[in-house]
Structure 1
Amino acid sequence: MAADTKIGRLEGLDLARFIAFVGMVIVNFSIVMGAEGAGGVLGAIIYGLEGRAAATFVVLAGIGLGLAGLKGEINLTIFTTFKRAAFLLVLGLLNMLIFDADILHYYAFYFLFGALLLPLSNRALGWVIAGLATTAVLMVLSLDYEAGWNWTDLSYPEFWTPVGFVRNLFFNGWHPVIPWLAFLLYGVMLSRWALSSARTQDALMLGGLMAFLLVNAVSAYLQPLLAMVDPELVDLVTTNPIPPMPFYLIAGMSVASMVVGLCLRAAPLLKSIGVLAVLNPAGRQTLTLYLAHILLGMGVMDELGLLGGQTTQSAFLASGIFCALAVIYALIWSRFFKRGPIEALMRKVAG
């Protein structure tokens, strides 16, 4: 399926970004509030969102990068992406001083390598994705995945050392380039499809659902078999984000496909009843809101003594309140400014 010859703004993608953002807020608030790993329906939702919401975000970033490459001169797109990657690296490292699970500095390298690989065909990108998945498995089998970690408080004391930084970035950090770059490249591949076509949207929804069910079924079947051989081999066939193995990549890509397809398919109806007008301004400010949920959201919770020892209900309530306030803020801001404050700063600094 070829990309549309004339590319307009796909408003469903802004909705998808907002949905992915909400998922990331729920996961991150649950972690810092100590509600992760709880049982019940809410605990199951948190578990299902872990790694999937962030993966969807990266796939959407890849779609954005791919569409930029289709709209303009590719060398200019690559150069601009390099500058934005540098901006995100600085921003992410500053954020690391506050929030150990920062994803922005990883994004910098996703974009760096993604821009370099942008001229490749979809077939070639598919081979790169397969190579990343294979390399991730070989690294987990041959290297110490727990190196540098303090699992007691989920900190990485060696992050600020050269060896620790490289290890965390490419191998065993929260969102390591190998294999997380695969999500961005998958997004680039999707950007070349006819995303405005209902047929493509249906294929993304149905194909994503079938792939998600299949990979989870195969994973559930293989885990007890490998456990009898060597319990440590079970990690190779789980869909858990840590360590990120091939089945996790497939699960993450399938969820992203479903979200993108559903949001694009539902966009015309949601636009007609005014939903997009309310939610999409927040979807266009996800960089600003990502930082806000750490600096403001977690900052307020810290002042109120809500970090640690909280219930899943409290985590969902806090997430709901923050996301509602984010929607209201973005809606008001969009009446006066085209971009969010951090998005405007990045545009001014990096183009």
Structure 2
Amino acid sequence: MTEIHSTRLEGLDLARFIAFVGMVIINFKIAMGADDGAGILSLLTIAIEGRAAATFVTLAGIGLGLAALRSEYSQTVIVTLKRAVFLFVIGLLNSLIFDADILHYYALYFLFGVMMLTTKSRWLLASIVLLNVVFVAMVLAFDYDLGWNWDDYSYTDLWTPAGFIRNLFFNGWHPVIPWLGFLLFGIALSRISLSQASTQNRLILFGAVAFVSAEFVGTNLTNILFSIHPELAVFATTAPVPPMPLYMIAGLGVASFIVGFCLRFASLFSRIGIMRIVTPAGRQTLTLYIAHILIGMGVLEGLGMLGEQNLSTAVMAALLFCLIATVYALLWSRYFKRGPIEAIMRKVAG
């Protein structure tokens, strides 16, 4: 029983590592002003754009749900609220450097998520549907482009009260509506038998079917809606901006597939030595996320590589950073149980 539990946790750490690598690739691509271009590399980055972050949020939901199962409910609520405040503060500081920060959104996901920890799974899934319906209604009722300068992806009134709330809940990079749905999905997943191979296989199958179906429907529906009126095509997009329902389905599919795959093959990866290398990085993703902005993008800025770079350069820079980050995490883990930021959060918020 102990071995199964350990493998399960290692599988989730591997999933966090994969999601982190995907996020670094996309964020470096944005920061370096790399165009999508053409070819396999372009298709790969388009496929992971928004999906890696969605997987990251889903994993946070799984972690929150598992914490609730292991601890007293009141204690889980108190610790989660403290950590939400911590993430909100460092996320806002991070936003001063990188507009596409996800941490301050995370704080709100946790705030609302912890309120729904005792909600039955069927109502969590119903809430995911409702979030998508509300978002579509908001797009119809309000101007989604308000605040955005799409030429350089800057948000002109982010630091005004109205702009900040609009960005946080509606038209930011990872708006609470509907992105909270990924966290709720993770909470629901935490309640099923994740350690069983049959469950892992179903997650893999569901994830693959959901992703492929969303992309297939999106491609065909886009053409139909565009022929009716060009502006209607946005409602069939699977791109993360704006996060329409088909994007959410694709994101949930990728998250499900990665979680199931990593849990299913954690033992195999452990036997061939992969887990020993990547698990420390998977347990320090908060530290590494901040490092890829402060250090990674800082180095790129010093080298004059922020803007007008090609896609291959951006991807190579991201992979090089991830390699260095993995080596760092491996060395750090020999002396310390937690990463630097994780240790600070633990001390401050429990």
- TM-score, normalised to structure 2, is 0.97
Matches within 5 A, 1:112-127: 112-127=111-126
Matches within 5 A, 1:167-178: 167-178=166-177
Checking the alignment, whether the CA contact within 8 Å between 2:194 and 2:200 is kept in structure 1 is: yes
Matches within 5 A, 1:218-257: 218-257=217-256
The one-letter code matched in structure 2 to 1:333 is W
Checking the alignment, whether the CA contact within 8 Å between 1:7 and 1:71 is kept in structure 2 is: no
Which 5+ residue runs of structure 2 have no aligned equivalent? none
Matched, 1:203 2:202: yes
Q: Distance in 2 between matches of 1:33 and 1:164?
A: 25
The one-letter code matched in structure 2 to 1:238 is T
Find the counterpart in structure 1 of residue 180 from structure 2.
Answer: 181
Q: Distance in 2 between matches of 1:346 and 1:228?
A: 51
Find the counterpart in structure 2 of residue 12 from structure 1.
Answer: 11
Q: Distance in 2 between matches of 1:303 and 1:217?
A: 42
Find the counterpart in structure 1 of residue 53 from structure 2.
Answer: 54
Matches within 5 A, 1:30-45: 30-45=29-44
Q: Distance in 2 between matches of 1:153 and 1:212?
A: 29
The one-letter code matched in structure 2 to 1:206 is L
State the Cα distance separating 1:98 from its structure 2 match.
0.5
> Among the aligned pairs, what percent are the same residue?
60
Q: Distance in 2 between matches of 1:264 and 1:311?
A: 35
Matches within 5 A, 1:1-351: 10-351=9-350
Q: Distance in 2 between matches of 1:302 and 1:7?
A: 43
Q: What per-residue deviation string (whole Å, max 9, x for no partner) do you get for residues 14-35 of structure 1?
A: 0000000000011011111121
Total equivalences in the alignment? 347
Q: Distance in 1 between matches of 2:327 and 2:292?
A: 14
Q: State the SS of the aligned residue for 1:10.
A: helix
Q: What per-residue deviation string (whole Å, max 9, x for no partner) do you get for residues 121-179 of structure 1?
A: 10110111111000000000110000111112111121111111100000000000000
Checking the alignment, whether the CA contact within 8 Å between 2:58 and 2:186 is kept in structure 1 is: yes
The one-letter code matched in structure 1 to 2:270 is K
State the Cα distance separating 1:210 from its structure 2 match.
1.1
Q: Distance in 1 between matches of 2:136 and 2:101?
A: 24
State the Cα distance separating 1:36 from its structure 2 match.
3.3
Q: Distance in 2 between matches of 1:124 and 1:35?
A: 41
The one-letter code matched in structure 1 to 2:280 is P
State the Cα distance separating 1:7 from its structure 2 match.
5.8
Q: Distance in 2 between matches of 1:321 and 1:218?
A: 36
Q: Distance in 2 between matches of 1:41 and 1:225?
A: 26
Q: Distance in 2 between matches of 1:313 and 1:303?
A: 19
Checking the alignment, whether the CA contact within 8 Å between 2:19 and 2:53 is kept in structure 1 is: yes
Q: Distance in 2 between matches of 1:152 and 1:46?
A: 20
State the Cα distance separating 1:230 from its structure 2 match.
1.8
Q: Distance in 2 between matches of 1:274 and 1:37?
A: 34
Q: Distance in 2 between matches of 1:36 and 1:281?
A: 32
Q: Distance in 2 between matches of 1:159 and 1:112?
A: 21
Q: What per-residue deviation string (whole Å, max 9, x for no partner) do you get for residues 94-145 of structure 1?
A: 0011111100000000000000111101011011111100000000011000
Q: State the SS of the aligned residue for 2:149.
A: coil
Deviates more, 1:6-15 or 1:200-209: 6-15
Q: Distance in 2 between matches of 1:226 and 1:119?
A: 40
Checking the alignment, whether the CA contact within 8 Å between 1:81 and 1:115 is kept in structure 2 is: yes
Q: Distance in 1 between matches of 2:194 and 2:267?
A: 13
Q: Distance in 1 between matches of 2:73 and 2:236?
A: 38
Q: Distance in 2 between matches of 1:120 and 1:36?
A: 43
Checking the alignment, whether the CA contact within 8 Å between 2:36 and 2:311 is kept in structure 1 is: no
Q: Distance in 1 between matches of 2:58 and 2:216?
A: 23
Q: Distance in 1 between matches of 2:267 and 2:349?
A: 33
Deviates more, 1:274-283 or 1:311-320: 311-320
Q: Distance in 1 between matches of 2:261 and 2:133?
A: 30
Q: Distance in 2 between matches of 1:21 and 1:252?
A: 15
Deviates more, 1:105-114 or 1:44-53: 44-53
Checking the alignment, whether the CA contact within 8 Å between 1:10 and 1:196 is kept in structure 2 is: no
Q: Distance in 1 between matches of 2:209 and 2:99?
A: 35
Q: State the SS of the aligned residue for 2:254.
A: helix
The one-letter code matched in structure 1 to 2:272 is I
Checking the alignment, whether the CA contact within 8 Å between 1:92 and 1:102 is kept in structure 2 is: yes
- TM-score, normalised to structure 1, is 0.97
